[in-house]
Amino acid sequence: MKKTILFLLILFSISVWAKGGFQLWQIASQEDKIGNSYLMRTAEGRLIVMDGGYKEEAGYLRGFITAMGGEVDMWIISHPHPDHSGVLLEILKNPKGIKINSICMSRFTEQLLDSEKSGKHARELYAAVSTSGIKEISPTLGSTMDFDGMKIKFLGVTNPEILTNPYNNSSLVMRVWDKKHSVLFLNDAGIECGDKAMANNPIEDFYCDYIQMAHHGQAGVSEDFYKKAKFRACLWPTPTWVYNNDCGKGFNTHILQTITTRTWIDNLGIKEQYVSCLLGTTRIF
Ligand SMILES: [Fe+2]
């Protein structure tokens, strides 16, 4: 009788643990290059990848995904810059056992693709997605998905009318949450993209536990955006030279705006900060 009760208790504990909400990893660049890469695992074990980084990171992320079962339920591409979509293109070219069930992205117009040199990479990515046979999901503004209790709301999709900093300003902006945690993914949103997302959605959608710093923490959304979005912790997908604004001559010798952003966050009193180049790959929760 005692053994039966113990067995039932263990079963109950496992089921509670398994339904403990989604988990989030911030994947650090192994090349100390700029890039954006996150992995989420739902309470039922389904994997969602956010971007993935440069193609040079493909081997590392492939290993990480393989260790978690090798199957990605949805791969989200925030925008088709190589530091966000390079890994996916490499894996589409040569899956090596990685199974992807769907790819979620907001395709750029031809005019938008033509607006930057990296349009060649973007077109190669789009062609690879089209020929892969993998289901493609085009998110619409304000739409919500549910993965085992983990919800994703799209607060911003492609903005072809914004011609300033056009690729970054067409980044997906997303709120991901369940009963335990909430994360705001800004990806590479610039000022215009951030302001548009805030104008198009209730301000409560921007209140979160964790905010992913826009554009790797430099020249992203405005200070006012960070002031209005209430959060308690920051996720920095940022290499050392960007985090320290270092052109090779020491701290704050480059032309990037990272130190300004760091000051904004310090002024907000945010102490909990996960910087990928300082911590390496980290399970956030
Ligand atoms: Fe980027």
Distance CA 124, CA 23 (A): 31
Residue 20 — pLDDT band, cuts 50, 70, 90?
A: confident
pLDDT for 96: 95
Q: pLDDT of 166-224, one tens digit each? A: 999 999 999 999 999 999 999 999 999 999 999 999 999 999 999 999 999 999 999 99
Which residues are in the CB-under-5-Å shell of ion ligand 1? Answer: 83, 188
How far does residue 148's CA lie from ligand 1's centre (Å)? Answer: 29
Strand-pair partners of 174: 154, 185
d(CA 191, CA 182): 22
pLDDT in tens, 75-102: 999 999 999 999 999 999 999 999 999 9
Between the CA of 14 and the centroid of ligand 1 the distance, in Å, is: 39
**How far apart are the CA of 268 and the centre of ligand 1, in A?**
24
Q: Ligand 1 centroid to 171 CA: how many Å?
A: 10
CA distance 122 to 116: 10
CATH fold for domain 23-283: Metallo-beta-lactamase; Chain A (3.60.15)
Query: For residue 230, how far is its CA from the centre of ligand 1 (angstroms)?
Result: 23
Span from the CA of 237 to the centroid of ligand 1 (angstroms) = 9
Model confidence at 108: pLDDT above 60? yes
